[in-house]
Amino acid sequence: MVERSPLVSFALIVAPTLCLTALRIILPVFDDVLSTDLISKIIVYSFSLFIGILMFLKYRTIEDHEYHRSKAISKLSKSYKLDNKGLWEDSDSIIRDLELKAQSNLRGKASVKSDQLMKGSIGNINKEMHEDIAQNEVEINLSSKINSSEQINNENISKDSKSIFSKINEKFNKIIENAALNEVNKNKRVIKSQSYPDIETSETISDKWNTPTSKKERKVIACNYCHSLNDEDVNYCVSCGNYLS
């Protein structure tokens, strides 16, 4: 930390007293009042000395980073202490309320057992805890065995039911498949009968295509002039127009 000058500190303490003596020198009336009244003189000088001490203390405190950090830590420590006190007090009161509620809710054997635990020692509590743990383990083993046996029975029942249902489903599937095959075969027969009618025999086809040939033969006459061929019925040549002899 930064150190202050001791001379400056001393000057701050003495400064108010010096100012007071200067006022007495400047103001003779004020000097006469203080000289005649001893009590007022003591009060004024003590007040001036008090002001000097305050100035000295203010001068000595250095408000740097370390000063602010220590101040913040002191505030936080106070608040943490108050919080801890409040929390512990609240927790104690809450535990008491819970104990009272638990005792009021317990009846019969449970209440007797809780009273014994509250009055007994730590060794008795540990023994009872071990006994409770052993009982819980036995109960857990019994419940696990019961659950496993129930699961096995349920699995067997489900297998039997599945086998019966599977057989019934297989029979229904077979019936449906047979019906579908019969329908398909019927449809095939109908389609064949519609698309492929009765095929005609080779004899009927040959009768259709065998047309009778004309046995009549035409005679042709040649022209003497142009030597072109003409029919027998024509008297004049078609190409040159001369008479056919």
The pLDDT value recorded for residue 78 is 73
The pLDDT value recorded for residue 204 is 47
- Round to whole Å and give the CA distance between 90 and 139: 39
pTM of the model: 0.28
Position of tokens 């409770």?
Answer: 132
Q: List Cβ<8 Å contacts ≥24 apart for 20-28.
A: 20/44, 20/45, 20/48
Position of tokens 């001068």?
Answer: 59
**Start-to-end C-alpha separation, the chain:** 166
The pLDDT value recorded for residue 234 is 79
Mean pLDDT per 10-residue segment, the chain (245 residues): 72 88 87 85 90 86 70 75 63 71 62 61 58 68 70 70 71 77 75 56 50 58 80 80 75
Tens of pLDDT, residue by residue over 34-54, are 888 888 889 988 999 999 889
Q: Is 194 strand, coil or helix? A: helix
237 by Cβ neighbours in 10 Å (0-12 / 13-18 / 19+) ranks as buried
Tens of pLDDT, residue by residue over 104-140, are 655 665 666 666 666 555 555 556 566 667 666 666 7
Beta pairing, strands 229-231 & 220-222 = antiparallel
Q: What is the 3-state secondary structure (H, E, C) of 65-132?
A: HHHHHHHHHHHHHHHHHHHHHHHHHHHHHHHHHHHHHHHHHCCCHHHHHHHHHHHCCHHHHHHHHHHH
Q: State the maximum Cα–Cα separation within the chain, in Å, rounded to a whole number.
A: 203
Please name the residues in contact with 141: beta carbons below 8 A apart, sequence gap of 6 or more.
Answer: none
